[in-house]
């Protein structure tokens, strides 16, 4: 009896999530083929130097933790989550988010039981509440990567001018960390501190890509590492990279402007049935309960919600143009 209602609620949640994802698309797009090609190149560079020691800066968050918390952080799942937390720019242990998810999930289940919901509905409510910290973490990670992508051309210009002035590449990285504000300044300052701790330049740059999984930053690091192996005019290479990134940035912004109508249409088409149901509930309180109390009505709501999610996904595929 309650299964169609659970499907309906889950579909509404998924629809809103897909719509919100359209607002946090990275500035430079998400060309999967290019990402795979650059990731293969970076993995090959890592394989050439497998004995790279971990950075002291990337393990500083372990200081002050109890032995039990350190054991939790050493779990493989926590290590993967810790990487996402680091990419979001947060300095918190990964198990804090797991504990938050468990707390919110248990609270939501308790509220559902007290409110008289069925077991399936209470567990579905708990799953949605438990996923909230991870959804928030994903949004923060996307916004931070977008901010770094927007500032990357300016950082490359600072490095280019510093190299042309005769400064070494490591000093240019340190200059970016001092001159630029925001997320990119912190990341380059961390990379410069890695150099100061004696980390190999290749390991420090690969650590930068690990903290910021951006396609444009991967291209920058790949070009720098190849130049260090084969030689060449680094300033000229950086100038070309900066021009390409700015051109792609302008083109992507133009695409987002032209596709704004499609995104607004997706919001309107999705929120219109929900808004209309709210208006009918206020104006005719005895009209909608029949739809929610009958099995045929719940089945109809479930099918329509699934079709709405499919339509939103299709619209996202249309308005998202990969570069």
Between the CA atoms of 234, 240, 242 and 246, what dihedral angle is there, to the nearest 10 degrees? Answer: 180
Q: For residue 149, what pLDDT band results from cuts at 50, 70 and 90?
A: confident
What is the pLDDT averaged over residues 233-243? 86
What pLDDT does residue 65 have? Answer: 65
Taking a C-beta distance cutoff of 8 angstroms, is the pair 127, 105 a contact? yes
What pLDDT does residue 25 have? Answer: 43
- Which of 145-154, 256-265, 290-299 tops mean pLDDT? 145-154
Tokens of 107: 């609270």
Distance CA(94)–CA(86), nearest Å, equals 9
Q: Is the pLDDT of residue 323 over 60?
A: no
What pLDDT does residue 61 have? Answer: 58
What pLDDT does residue 54 have? Answer: 47
Q: What is the DSSP string of 32-96?
A: HHHHHHHHHHHHHHHHHSTTPPPPSGGGGGGTT--HHHHHHHTSHHHHHHHHHHHHTT--S-HHH
Taking a C-beta distance cutoff of 8 angstroms, is the pair 245, 216 a contact? yes
Q: Is the pLDDT of residue 316 over 80?
A: no
Angle in degrees, 0-180, between the axes of helices 32-48 and 201-211, rounded to the nearest 10: 150
Every domain of the chain and the residues it spans: 151-244
What is the pLDDT averaged over residues 75-82? 77
Taking a C-beta distance cutoff of 8 angstroms, is the pair 4, 294 a contact? no
Q: Which CATH number fits domain 151-244: 1.10.3470, 1.20.1260, 1.20.81, 2.10.25?
A: 1.20.81
**Percent of the chain residues topping a pLDDT of 70:** 76
Q: Which position has the token pair 């900066």?
A: 242
What is the pLDDT averaged over residues 274-293? 77
Say which range, 35-44, 51-60, 98-107, 201-210, has the weakest mean pLDDT.
51-60
Distance CA(300)–CA(125), nearest Å, equals 21
**Percent of the chain residues topping a pLDDT of 90:** 1
Question: How far, CA to CA in Å, does 289 sit from each of 15, 90, 240, 293, 294?
Answer: 23, 45, 63, 6, 9
Say which range, 93-97, 147-151, 183-187, has the weakest mean pLDDT.
93-97
What pLDDT does residue 49 have? Answer: 54
Q: What is the DSSP string of 220-231?
A: HHHHHHHHHHH-
pLDDT digits (tens, 9 = 90+) for 126-148: 888 888 888 888 888 888 888 88
Question: How far, CA to CA in Å, does 91 sit from each of 88, 102, 157?
Answer: 9, 20, 29
What pLDDT does residue 69 have? Answer: 67
Say which range, 35-44, 46-55, 92-101, 192-201, has the weakest mean pLDDT.
46-55
What is the pLDDT averaged over residues 72-77? 72
The candidate with the shortest Cα–Cα distance to 241, out of 151, 152, 150, is 152
Q: Which position has the token pair 């005895």?
A: 286
What pLDDT does residue 53 have? Answer: 43
pLDDT digits (tens, 9 = 90+) for 168-180: 888 888 888 888 8
How many residues comprise the chain?
A: 323
């Amino acid at each position: 009896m309650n299964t169609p209602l659970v499907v309906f609620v889950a579909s509404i949640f998924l629809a809103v999530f897909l719509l919100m994802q359209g607002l946090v698309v990275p500035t430079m797009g998400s060309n999967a083929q290019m990402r795979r090609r650059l990731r293969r190149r970076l993995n090959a560079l890592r394989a050439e130097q497998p004995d790279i020691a971990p950075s002291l800066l990337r393990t500083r968050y372990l200081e002050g933790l109890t032995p039990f918390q350190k054991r939790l952080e050493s779990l493989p799942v926590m290590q993967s989550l810790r990487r996402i937390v680091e990419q979001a720019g947060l300095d918190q242990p990964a198990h804090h988010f797991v504990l938050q998810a468990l707390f919110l999930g248990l609270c939501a289940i308790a509220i559902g039981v007290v409110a008289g919901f069925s077991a399936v509905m209470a567990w579905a409510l708990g799953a949605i509440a438990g996923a909230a910290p991870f959804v928030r973490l994903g949004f923060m990670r996307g916004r931070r990567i977008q901010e770094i992508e927007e500032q990357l051309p300016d950082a490359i210009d600072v490095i280019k001018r510093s190299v042309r002035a005769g400064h070494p590449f490591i000093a240019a990285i340190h200059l970016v960390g001092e001159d630029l504000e925001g997320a990119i300044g912190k990341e380059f300052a961390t990379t410069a501190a890695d150099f100061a701790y004696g980390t190999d330049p290749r390991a420090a740059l690969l650590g930068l890509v690990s903290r910021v999984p951006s396609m444009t930053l991967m291209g920058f690091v790949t070009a720098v590492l190849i130049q260090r192996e084969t030689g060449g005019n680094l300033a000229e290479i950086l100038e070309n990279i900066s021009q390409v990134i700015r051109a792609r940035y302008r083109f992507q912004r133009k695409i987002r402007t032209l596709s704004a109508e499609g995104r607004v249409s997706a919001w309107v088409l999705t929120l219109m049935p929900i808004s209309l149901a709210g208006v009918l509930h206020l104006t005719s309180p005895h009209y909608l309960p029949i739809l929610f109390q009958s099995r045929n009505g719940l089945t109809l709501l479930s099918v329509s919600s699934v079709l709405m999610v499919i339509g939103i996904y299709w619209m996202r595929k249309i308005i998202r143009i990969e570069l």
